[in-house]
A and B are shown apart, each in its own frame.
Chain A
Amino acid sequence: QKEVEQNSGPLSVPEGAIASLNCTYSDRVSQSFFWYRQYSGKSPELIMSIYSNGDKEDGRFTAQLNKASQYVSLLIRDSQPSDSATYLCAVTEGYQKVTFGTGTKLQVIP
């Protein structure tokens, strides 16, 4: 059984700070990694995807992947109240179906 683990939170950060969200996964052959954002009552939407070890930056978001440690993280710089949401980590092996974590709730305090 493939597992994706996330701290449920809530993670509270002040506005303007860096929010760090973490995810671990159990399947060593996992190849593709995703971060989705979900506002309350809404559907998840993709923020970042990452496929190789290292960092990938997109605006205020940076995804970090360490396959040896089976660890993927999402950093949000200059956090804004509009970033308050639940962040879902997702992992897939090759062209197989995706496994989601239970999500971390982020609260950005003005």
Chain B
Amino acid sequence: DADVTQTPRNRITKTGKRIMLECSQTKGHDRMYWYRQDPGLGLRLIYYSFDVKDINKGEISDGYSVSRQAQAKFSLSLESAIPNQTALYFCATSDPMGQGAETQYFGPGTRLLVL
């Protein structure tokens, strides 16, 4: 079974709709992240959480919100989707301790199309 899972894997929605992308992990990591990836722009950080009570904005948080329901679950919401939020979204986890600290473990991604 995959250590980091994302649902849905693909989503088509319309402008103005609210949608939620979900991420679950079985790695036992405290740190979780949401990234979006666009051609030519690489991976950009949307939000990150270092533990259940800690939520931080990344470089492109406008138009997004998150919820850390438990150590293993981190959800990303688009309150009112717009076409320029069309992208590939990745959830990731990391463990800050020990050798290999901050290695990012990525989920399979969610491909989102906003019409």
Which residues does A use to contact B, with CB under 8 Å? 8, 32, 34, 36, 41-46, 49, 88, 90, 92, 95-98, 100-103
CB neighbours of A42 from chain B (8 A): 108-109
Which of B13-21, B62-70, B72-80, B95-103 contacts its partner?
Answer: B95-103
Q: A103–B42 contact, CB under 8 A?
A: yes
* Residue of B43, B101, B103 with most chain A CB atoms under a 10 A cut-off: B43
Interface SS majority for chain B? loop
Q: B45–A32 contact, CB under 8 A?
A: no
Q: How many angstroms between the C-alpha atoms of A45 and B96 in the bound complex?
A: 17
Q: A98–B106 contact, CB under 8 A?
A: no
Q: A95–B40 contact, CB under 8 A?
A: no
CB neighbours of B33 from chain A (8 A): 97
Given contacts A95-B96, A102-B42, whether A43 and B101 have CB atoms under 8 Å apart is: no
